[in-house]
Amino acid sequence: MAKSDPSQVLAPSDKLSIFVSSTIGECAEERKRAAAGIRGTNHEPVVFEKLGARPYHPRDVYLSRLRQSHIAVAIYKDQYGYIDSTGGMTISGLEDEYRHARSWGLPILVYVQKDSTNRTLRLQALVTEIMASGITVAFYENPAELEMQIKDDVTALTTQRFFDADALSIALREKSEVLSAPPGGLILRADVIESLNEAMTKSKVVRLAGEAGSGKTTLLSQLAQAHGYKLVYGSRLSPKELFAVLANQLRGITADSAQQFATFEGAKHAFASAWAEAGEITVIIDDSPYIDDIADAMRSAGSAPDHRGRLLYSSRDLTALDSRPESIFHLEPMRPEQVGTMLNAAQREHTLEDVMRLWRSTGGNPLRIRQELVSSGRSTKQVWEELGPSQRELITYLSVSNAVLNVDDLLSLRDDPAYGSENLFADVDLVPELVVGTGMGFKIVHEAIREELWKLIASKPERIQFAAGRLGKFLESEGRVVEAYFVLAKAGHKNAGRLLHVAAFEAARSGDWKSSLPIQEELLKNAERRKDNDDIIHT
């Protein structure tokens, strides 16, 4: 069965605001057609002439509404527009809107009348500049053409830029059994699983707390697999993506027919509705910084006394939070007999003395035990130093990206026709101490190991600059602009500043406050250095 157009099934709360920029009187018919085309996609046009009277300067109003919009549609005919020279302006409102849309990272759709006979020189200069910038410009002969053209273009742009289809598909396809028994012989801690399941019968919200490498992800994977609970690996999902994945999971929708959402509000509303209707259900979220957002939405949607939904999530934070009513389940280190079971699972000959030595040296931490077994006692630094150039390049991209990269991603980054998928698999097989497969791609075995590797890579500035530059360019081309920005910024790469405004826009539309805060702080610093009052006011 053919998949429906996502834009035609948007919830009322899942509408984009689309700002229409043009001269008002001259383009009255064009603006009417543009608004109709936008409404035809179930989104909302923002047209300045319908905003009504405001006790503010007109520029403050249109920049404020532009800042709150998701897309800008620019229509240029003949007139350049009014320049408010008494207000200190040297460009028209038309050009002002375009330049702010560009600097704020909004996607822009530009439509220019074909007949340029009467076009003013300043507007023609602006059109020429836009065409040279790489933005696609569509030409129209009469206003009647615009309605369908804008409708088609907005639909295509929304699908490409706003639905996050790839992240949603990957998260919905990722299975709990993939991570339930990672390489190195981690065992089923049946007694812990039973105790954790018992704790969940006594509280609607349970936090699984444990230090880095204590086995939280593995335990949650095993628990979900054993009981059929809904599980989401949340470390790389924005709030919008997290709500979207959960909304689909709660309704039993698979990746192939997943419902997609244009806005953070739409995804959150869909999740809240699904949660309210779910009845008795358990949701497990591993390693997400946005648990407060999820818990708040759950409480709002499932506040009825008889609602039987439960939330279990993992955290390294061992302290109680007064603001969050929950119980805390502390994941203790492995006991010596469990370490012995791991050695048996790894088919390692050992004595009781060997078990006790390993238990003491690792503190019973499953990650450290695994690394000891797989690396034969070598440190991360020693493993790195023994790698060949090919494996080092692979590890560098995975360490710098902090994301799952699939085979096609890694081959694109390598950019070597002589290096194919089998070469990649062979390289991965050589580094079990550092890389694990997730079923959807590859990643560094643990965040703690990734941080160690990042420091080793960054010790050679040329290496980190090259890797960050190439990876940032790749992520940007894939539409993963926030990831690209942080890759470049962490490495101190010169291209980070170029992505700052676009990353701010993408983080805001995804409800990603964790990423937004440092980005907004950097924007404010830049604006203050330039003494740019517009950016300070509208940031």
Helix H or strand E encompassing 344: helix 336-345
Q: Which residue has the tokens 């990353």?
A: 503
How many Å apart are CA 317 and CA 319, to the nearest integer?
6
Q: Please list the alpha-helical segments (H only) found in 228-290.
A: 239-250, 264-278
Count of CB atoms situated within 10 Å of the CB of 398: 28
pLDDT, position 325: 63
Provide the CB-side half-sphere exposure for 413 (13 A, CA): 28
DSSP label of 158: I
Q: Which CATH number fits domain 166-330: 3.40.50.720, 2.30.42.10, 3.40.50.10140, 3.40.50.300?
A: 3.40.50.300
CA 47 to chain CA mean position, Å: 30
For the CA atoms of 457, 458, 463, 467, the dihedral, rounded to the nearest 10 degrees, stands at 80
- Nearest CA among 146, 138, 113 for reference residue 36: 146
Q: Whole-angstrom Cα distance, residue 257 to residue 3?
A: 7
The alpha carbon dihedral of 314, 454, 525, 84 has a sign of: negative
Q: How long a stretch of residues is the chain?
A: 539
Tokens of 122: 């300043």
Strands (E), 271-351: 281-286, 309-315, 327-330
Give dist(CA 328, CA 16) in Å, integer. 39
Q: Enumerate residues 6+ apart whose C-beta is below 8 A from 455.
A: none
Cβ contacts of residue 258 below 8 Å, gap of 6+?
A: 165, 168, 169, 172, 244, 248
8 Å CB contact between 187 and 338: yes
Q: What is the pLDDT of residue 184?
A: 44
Sign of CA dihedral 378, 382, 387, 391: positive
- CATH H-level, domain 6-162: superfamily: Toll/interleukin-1 receptor homology (TIR) domain (3.40.50.10140)
Nearest to 164 by CA among 244, 46, 80, 64: 244
d(Cα 165, Cα 240) in Å, to the nearest integer?
A: 12
pLDDT at residue number 9: 44
Is 238 in a helix, a strand, or coil?
A: coil
What's the whole-model pTM score? 0.80
| pLDDT one digit per residue (tens) for the chain, 539 residues | 344 444 444 455 689 999 999 999 999 999 999 999 999 999 999 997 655 555 557 888 889 999 999 999 999 999 999 999 998 999 999 999 999 999 888 999 999 999 999 999 999 999 999 999 989 899 999 999 999 999 999 999 998 888 877 778 878 877 654 444 444 445 668 889 999 999 998 888 899 999 988 989 889 988 998 888 999 988 888 999 999 999 999 999 988 888 989 899 999 999 999 998 887 889 999 989 999 899 889 888 866 656 678 899 998 877 755 556 678 999 999 999 989 988 888 788 899 999 999 999 999 998 888 888 888 888 999 999 999 999 999 999 999 997 789 999 999 999 999 999 999 999 999 999 899 887 678 999 888 899 999 999 999 999 999 999 999 999 998 888 999 999 999 999 999 999 998 999 999 989 999 999 999 999 888 878 776 655 555 55
Token pair of 302 as six digits: 């499932």
Q: Among the residues of 305-388, which ranges form H helices? A: 336-345, 352-362, 366-375, 380-385
Give the pLDDT of residue 408: 94
Greatest alpha-carbon pair distance for the chain in Å reads 91
pLDDT at 183: 43
Q: How many helices (H) and strands (E) does the chain have?
A: 24, 12
Comparing CA positions, the residue from 430, 446, 354, 345 lying closest to residue 394 is: 430
**Cα–Cα distance, 240 to 248 (Å, whole number):** 12
Closest CA to 444 of 220, 357, 386, 455: 455
pLDDT score at 367: 87
| Backbone dihedral angles phi then psi of residue 206, each to the nearest 5 degrees | -125, 130
DSSP assigned state of 349: -
DSSP summary character for residue 57: -
Name residue, tokens 């494996």. Answer: 391
∠ at Cα 379 (378, 380), nearest 5°? 125
Residue 242 near residue 200, CB atoms below 8 Å: no
Q: Which amino acid is at 259?
A: Q
The ranges of the chain annotated as CATH 3.40.50.300 are 166-330
pLDDT at 531: 66
Closest CA to 30 of 142, 135, 107: 142
β-bridge partners, 139: 112
Q: Which of 140, 148, 72 is nearest to 111 (CA)?
A: 140
| pLDDT value for 204 | 87
Q: What is the pLDDT of residue 181?
A: 45
Radius of gyration for the chain, computed over Cα atoms and rounded to the nearest angstrom: 27
Supply the DSSP symbol for 255. G
Q: Give one word for 61, left, alpha or beta, with left for phi > 0 and alpha for psi -120 to 50.
A: alpha
Q: Where in the chain is the domain with CATH 3.40.50.10140?
A: 6-162
Q: What is the DSSP letter of 352?
A: H
DSSP 416: -
